[in-house]
Chains A and B, each alone.
Chain A
Amino acid sequence: MDAGRTALAAPEGRASPTRPGAPRLARLALWIAPLAFLGVFFFYPLGAVLRIGLIGLSAANWVKALRETIPRPLWFTFWQASLSTLLTLLVGLPGAYVFAHYEFPGKTLLKALTTIPFILPAVVVAAAFNALLGPRGWVNFALMSILGLAVPPLVLVNTLWAILLAHVFYNTTVVLRIVGNHWAHLDPRWNQAARVLGAGRTRAFLEVTLPLLWPALLAAALLVFLFDFTSFGVILILGGPQFSTLEVQIYVEALQLLNLPVASLVCLVQLLCTLILTGAYARMTSRTQVASRPRSQSQVRIRPQGVLQRGIVAAVVIGLSLLLVSPLAALGLGSVTRLEANRAQQGEVRYGLTLDFYRELFQNARQSLFYVPPIDAARNSILYGMATVVISLSLGFLAATALSRPGRGNSALDSLLMLPLGSSAVTLGLGLIVTFHRPPVDLHASPLLLPIAHSLVAFPFVVRSLVPALATIPKRLREAAAMLGASPGRAWREVDLPIVARAAAVAATFAFAASMGEFGATSLLARPEYPTLPIAIYRFLSLPGALNYGQALAMATLLMLVTGLGILLIERLRLPGVGEF
């Protein structure tokens, strides 16, 4: 316990710099590229479209919008996001604990599988939930035959539960990865010291482990909250029209009623809320960062022993599989299942197995100009994903390094970095169109606009994954390296990089996943010659017919496979020679 106190009282990372001028300049230099990127591709386009919108807003509309349009969705947005975040933490934290502390067979695979929900477009999640929990889904089918019911007992679609369940399904991986990764590297000796000094299990957890875990916990909670806060597809598709968030309101006003002025006002309210949240977050974390010597994972992780440990691991594995993996399995199964024979002539539904949907994917049976060969869609998605990883990781490293060094203005800059995640994708998409469709920057014609937009989404995840890891690096390690004659670059490579390599893998996973699954910006900005897998899925789902539905599920299964392989690869990519930290 004493150890914990001391660490909190004298954070090693915050020791005063020896030469005051140079570090500050270096810190400012680090900020240039990330801020320029955000300025050009986020603030400028968003500002441009908001300006167009707000100019057209009459005083009467201001009042009307603030009184009638905004309060209801504003309240619901906060309500569902808070509830979703709480549930996600509840599900994710036991998982993070188990992933951080225990080795068990199938762990890598399970971890990759739990990330796949993150990339699924909302319509696909709806299809998965429908196959599993819908009126004729497996669960209802089982309940009906066991209990002898005539009506499906479980009603999910168009309830608040559907929204909450979908948000937990999407975001548990954020908690698993960000908190789990941080937890795995906590020095267990501090906890042990507290125990030796007489603290009970609970007290040691509350007074030592929890404070040390706090930065990662807050980071994960903020990311999950912002993700839910701007939720759009889930609300529309699974929640239904009785639920409206600010983002849904913006979409309806901007794209359906073509009322850009009111949409801009709602967007501004949403931005303000996000800014308050990220500002509060930045203040909270700036006071709680603790430097500690990171431990190698092999020192921390053990195989579960005894009934209790095995029980905990088994419960978490089964729980996560049911919640996160079974819908994926339902999708995969749906892609190889067809309804037998003529439905109109038969009294009951019968199923059969088939590979027809996959076979159909590979031929342009309708001679359509817009036929998407699955290999091409996968290649486009992967290339966009890789470009997103490169862009967001290089900028993210700069920003995270700057953030992890002491300096004034950090918390303000930190809250700016998080804004893209908490702002309206619809508005930003329109902004990018308004600003970048004419020379000199005619990005509309460039395939780079898409990974840039994806990087805006990925950026907050990348920064939040890296900062807790960088903040734990004791300054004296770098100083020791410098003392031994290492250049700053070499010190970074030999000290920082090995320690953050694990966090960088987490960051890369999120960046890749954010790009693979993104649909909103993609549908507005993608070059038609380079369609992605989610776009191909939507094309099938926009037409009736068993073949279209089956091909959409087959394409979604391909998306899951490609992303899963990509994530496993990123985890493996860890550089030989760099220690396991």
Chain B
Amino acid sequence: MRQGSRIVSLVVLALFLGACTFPGMRGGAGPGLAASGQAGTLNVMTHDSFDVSQGLVTQFEQANHVKISFFKSGDAGAALNKAILSKDSPLADVFYGVDNTFLSRALAAGIYQPYNSPLLAQIPKAFQLDPTDHALPVDYGDVCLNYDKMYFADHHLAVPQSLEDLVKPEYKGLLVVENPATSSPGLAFLLATVAHFGPDQFLGYWKQLRQNGVVVVDGWETAYYTNFSGSSGKGSQPMVVSYASSPPAEVIFANPPISQAPTASIVGPDMCFRQVEFVGILQGTKDLGLAQKFVDFMLSVPFQEDMPLKMFVYPVNPNAKVPAAFVQYTQVPDRPAQLSPEEIAQNRDNWIAEWTQAVLH
């Protein structure tokens, strides 16, 4: 008898706790809405790396009497897939996080509707990779090799200055890269080699890299934190495929504080690949006006100035000032490798398959 009622009371307690602490279940007001009287909600879908300052979002919410609900939906590929699969009954009004390697896929799937934002006038044409304005550029960043300064100094080794340098015997076994099939920086670096050597020659280069002991891992986290000697993980390889913004992050997130970055980027010609990220309004949004306002907000100076220290990317809006800490420790490549989104979309699967055959099997 007693045991039965105890179990029942536990169940009731659990349900009760659940009901109390999940206000969303009962359609209650979220924290951002408390001040305003209106009940509109704008759903924004993003990839996992999205971040923004609390204050900025609150300002937008108060100015427009709306609550913004952000849905983080996995990495860039997972988020795009989610958007495509739910196209007929969209999960959100706005989707941020498609980059130039996925752009053509997103446009072909027809998930966006066009929006010719007035702010596009401020943004350089070079970033506006979709002339139909379905996808609007928000930020960019460079995927570059990072190196462990201490290792190179201790071993009196010169830092490689070109892709060709990397196959020299003195750098044998010193580079870790990510698998382009499972990692977006991995794909970006593969694309850099395609852009530099051409679609017919890049595999030959990778075979040389393989002979020179390039280490391949599946994701950035493993490459950076397990294999790279310049990170807190203290791995074995002093060179890693990461971002040009990783060295400033090492300074900003140092503990204890440091005045000099322990790592730096190698920004030789064609050694970095530029990633541009886009935002777009999803087909079927319930509030087009608000969605447009939010896109304008993302392209406007306050948001653009907030991005560098939140997501470690550069603003596409040249009127936005980039924080000094960010500029000081970031090297910008003069000549990043570039490929058109169409070329990438057409060949990406083949390149990955060929690469897998040449490097892994």
Contact = CB atoms under 8 A, between A and B. Distances in A.
B179 interface: yes
Nearest to B226: A130
Give the interface centre of A134, A490, A546 by most chain B CB atoms within 10 Å.
Answer: A546
B356 to A, nearest CB: 8
Given A236-B218, A524-B74, A547 B3 contact: no
B216 interface: yes
A386 B11 CA distance: 9
Contacts of B242: 544
A546 B252 CA distance: 9
B222 A237 contact: yes
A135 interface: yes
A52 B30 contact: no
A268 B72 CA distance: 28
A371 B356 CA distance: 38
Contacts of B254: 545-547
B2 interface: yes
A368 B50 CA distance: 10
B234 A538 contact: no
A448 interface: yes
A236 B219 contact: yes
Contacts of B1: 490, 493
A116 B222 CA distance: 22
A135 B52 contact: no
Given A369-B51, A544-B249, A575-B3, A258 B57 contact: no
A145 interface: no
B264 to A, nearest CB: 9
A136 B182 CA distance: 26
A368 B52 contact: yes
Contacts of A49: 85
A353 interface: no
A369 B24 contact: no
A21 interface: no
Interface in B58-103: 69-75, 77-78, 80-82, 84-86, 89, 91, 102
Interface in B131-184: 149-150, 154, 179, 181-182
Contacts of A152: 236
B206 to A, nearest CB: 13
A259 B81 CA distance: 10
B150 A549 contact: no
B346 interface: no
Contact of A544 (B48, B91, B246, B356): B246
Contacts of B54: 364, 367-369, 371
A255 B246 CA distance: 25
A392 B22 CA distance: 20
Interface stretch (B12-20, B196-204, B316-324, B331-339): B12-20
Interface string B20-47: 0110110000100000000000000000
B179 A241 contact: yes
A380 B182 CA distance: 30
Q: Give the contact-size bracket for chain A.
A: 35 or more
Nearest to B311: A543
B125 interface: no
Contacts of B7: 575
Contacts of A578: 3
A440 interface: no
Contact of B352 (A257, A366, A371, A447): A257
Interface in A354-379: 354, 356-357, 360, 364, 366-371, 379
Contacts of A73: none
B51 A257 contact: no
A110 interface: no
Contacts of A196: none
Given A368-B53, A550-B232, A258 B310 contact: no
Given A157-B227, A369-B54, A545 B24 contact: no
A252 interface: yes
A256 interface: yes
A387 interface: yes
A305 interface: no
B221 A237 contact: yes
A320 B342 CA distance: 55
Interface stretch (B111-119, B255-263, B274-282, B294-302): B255-263
A435 to B, nearest CB: 10
B234 A136 contact: yes
B17 A345 contact: no
B80 A258 contact: yes
Contacts of A339: 232
Contacts of A438: 89
Contacts of B253: 543-548
B21 A543 contact: no
Given A256-B181, A368-B52, A529-B24, A545 B77 contact: no
A344 B260 contact: yes
Interface of B: 1-4, 6-7, 11, 14-15, 17-18, 21-22, 24-25, 30, 48-55, 57, 69-75, 77-78, 80-82, 84-86, 89, 91, 102, 105, 149-150, 154, 179, 181-182, 215-222, 224-227, 230-236, 242, 246, 249-256, 258-262, 309-310, 312, 348-349, 352, 356, 360
Given A360-B255, A542-B221, A544-B231, 8 more contacts: A134-B233, A342-B262, A347-B154, A366-B51, A370-B72, A544-B224, A549-B231, A577-B3
25 contacts: A135-B236, A157-B222, A158-B215, A158-B217, A240-B217, A240-B218, A255-B77, A255-B81, A341-B256, A367-B55, A369-B70, A370-B50, A379-B21, A383-B21, A444-B91, A447-B24, A448-B25, A497-B4, A498-B3, A527-B24, A528-B70, A530-B22, A530-B24, A545-B232, A546-B254
